[in-house]
Amino acid sequence: MGQAKSRRRADVAPQSSQGAPSQMDVTLLPQELLVLILSWVPGRTLVTVGRLVCREWRDLIDSPVLWKLQGERDPSKREAFRAALEAARHCPRMEWARVGVLQPFGRNLIKNPCGEEQFLHWQVGYGDGVCLGDNTCWISQLVDLVKEGLWEDLLDTFQPDIFISDWWGTHEKCSCTYNLYVLLLAADRNSVITRFVTEMDPAAEWNIPFQQASHVFRKYGPGVRYLRFQHIGNRPGPEHTEAHITNSTVLVKLSG
């Protein structure tokens, strides 16, 4: 009896020790722990892969809790997430997965706002580009608002405020002019829904310090999908220096 019992244990023990290690079923984890684990996964992976796992994961990724954990952990995301929480107070249909990855609120949507690296991301024109005259120069950037993280229902129904600003100044005695043109465009990129144009007085003084031109688009109506940001300088002669521009900004905020 004793030998038979010992032999039975010997038969069972190797199967247990040599078998494949058991794998944890994450679907059995408490939701609080599952959210914490998922919050360490990169945002784009969560959206492109995690949402497809099951309905529970999809619902967690589409809620603000997971993105709040990421925002609190990463200092570079905190301001954008605070702006998103403020927006959520006024928009009950927030697309949190989209907002968590692209962070459209409280972030400058202009790329290369100071025109560095030979105006990377900007279109540059001279001569009679937009304004006639051989001494005219302009730079322009088209912002795809949907690609930057906003969505059609938000733009059409809730119409968040769009803040634009630009800093400009001159050096040397140049008698330059500075004009800022910002257009809100429809999906065809050509139809203008509304615009802001500021025409500054000629800068005829030596070393004009940087000053700000700004505007807020509110209640602009449905259909906005793009924003054209363009500033134009004109100088009286090629021997003079044109206006200098820096820190161009487009911010989207949703508030009451």
41-55 residue pLDDT tens:
888 898 889 888 888
What would the pLDDT profile of 186-231 be if each residue is shown by its tens digit?
A: 999 999 999 999 876 655 555 567 788 899 999 999 999 999 999 8
Number of domains in the chain: 2
Confidence (pTM): 0.77
Facing residues of 166 across strands? 213
As given in the structure block, the two tokens for residue 29 are 């984890």
Contact 119, 112 (CB under 8 A): yes
- My answer on whether 152 and 98 are in the same domain is no
* Structural domain that includes position 155: 116-253
Domain end among 43, 76, 102: 102
Q: Which of 54, 69, 102 is the last residue of a domain?
A: 102
111 inside domain:
no
Domain harbouring 66, CATH code? 1.20.1280.50
CA-CA distance, 91 to 160, in Å (whole number)?
A: 10
Q: Could you tell me if 229 and 121 lie in one domain?
A: yes
Contact at 8 Å (CB) between 186 and 247?
A: no
Task: Please indicate, yes or no, whether residues 248 and 152 belong to a single structural domain of this protein.
Answer: yes
**Rounded to an integer, what distance in angstroms lies between the CA atom of residue 27 and that of residue 159?**
39
Nearest 5°: the CA angle 192, 161, 119 is 65
Residue count of the chain, please give it. 256
CA–CA distance, 105 with 156 (Å, rounded to integer): 16
